[in-house]
Amino acid sequence: MKKQIKELRSIFEKNKIVSKIQELGKSSLDQNFWKNQNKAQKILKEKKFYENLVESFKNSISESKELKEFYKLASEENNKGLIQETLKNIKFLKSTVQKNEIKCFLSKETDSNDCYLEIHAGAGGTESQDWADMLRRMYMKWSSTKTFKLNIISEHKGEEAGLKSSTLRINGDYAFGWLKNESGIHRLVRISPFDSGARRHTSFASVWVYPVVDDSIELEIQEKDLRVDTYRSSGAGGQHVNTTDSAVRITHLPTKIVVQCQNDRSQHKNKETCMQMLKARLYNFELEKREKQSLGQQSQKKDIGWGHQIRSYVLHPYRLVKDNRTNFETSDPDKVLNGEIDSFLESSLFNLNG
């Protein structure tokens, strides 16, 4: 326990948690602080998050000392009931410290932001499209358990089943921070429900997560750099199908970034959403370029290819979900596919950001 608290203190120092609180505090005292409401609220939210983290850390140190004394006293008196109760409290404290360790890695520039999550089916037709649909359900279930707000921005359904692609917007505290390491290729191995011969199939789908950016971030997007296309939405049927060309696709010509939206009947609103997404994509593009320059590495987006599998979900001939980057695994894929992915998210935060 003492070693874990020492490690947590080291992580605090490495991520400059205390200095970030001080910097955010100075920003909140600026006389023009409330002129930009969105920016002000974001700063206060970040400051509160770090303050709660530090307060929890201090409480853990105090509680650790108390539990040490309780255990010593219980052992001297051979009080088995008190020993068991103390061990139970130590286990709970250990869990709290581990959670605080993870939260320390949610301290980068856009970690507190909402996020967009894109899912694209790989080659393989119906198999991969069904897998893309399963992944979308997994993230929607996870968002629901976190009480995050989720909107489907755009989707293209498969001819027989599943999805060719889907874009979600997830609104919630540190949504991007939690999900940022989910970008990559997700691989599924199973007996295909679409194969009359009940053969085993391997399917792929790509996931890409990027942060929503607010009005405090200024990006110059020139009209001449955009190609705007409109088309008819492909909804689920009935009242959800638009009979006008309200769906919008915008291509940013210099970067080849493409965004699209079809979730509203109004072409104007869909275009507005597309511009918000494009702003987020361009901002993330610049962040990755900056990170590439500082670390001398390829940006994550360019690294993502069909050979870059971050996680495997095996339903046959055995049952296993394994993250190929951290080696974290579980033998209960049903829980994972039902949205219980916190252990994978925490493992990636700790191992990939440490």
Considering the chain, what percentage of its residues have pLDDT values greater than 70?
88
Query: Exposed (0-12), middle (13-18) or buried (19+): which is 199, by Cβ within 10 Å?
Result: exposed
Per-position b or e across 41-64, b if 16+ CB within 10 A of its CB: ebbeebbebbeebeeebeebeebb
Mean of per-residue pLDDT scores for the chain:
86
194 and 333 belong to one structural domain? yes
Among residues 103, 136, 160, the one where a domain terminates is 103
- What's the pTM? 0.78
Q: Are 203 and 131 in contact (CB under 8 A)?
A: yes
39 and 133 belong to one structural domain? no
Residue 300 pLDDT greater than 70, yes or no: no
| Cis peptide upstream of residue 211 (ω within 30 degrees of 0) | no
> Other C-beta atoms within 10 Å of 105: how many?
21
Residue 58 pLDDT greater than 70, yes or no: yes
**Rounded-to-integer distance, Cα 145 and Cα 348, Å:** 20
- What's the distance, CA 31 to chain centroid? 34
Element (H, E) at 271: helix 267-295
Range of the domain at 81: 2-103
Q: How confident is the model at residue 292 (pLDDT cuts 50, 70, 90)?
A: low
Residue 232 pLDDT greater than 90, yes or no: no
pLDDT at residue number 311: 97
Which of residues 290 and 271 earns the better pLDDT score? 271
**Rounded-to-integer distance, Cα 106 and Cα 348, Å:** 12
182 and 288 belong to one structural domain? yes
Asked which of 3-12, 87-96, 178-187, 195-204 is least confident by mean pLDDT, the reply is: 3-12
pLDDT at residue number 40: 87
Q: What total number of domains does the chain contain?
A: 2
CATH code for the domain of 185: 3.30.70.1660
140 and 167 belong to one structural domain? yes
pLDDT at residue number 49: 87
Tally of residues, the chain: 354
Residue 298 pLDDT greater than 50, yes or no: no
79 and 175 belong to one structural domain? no
Q: How confident is the model at residue 299 (pLDDT cuts 50, 70, 90)?
A: very low
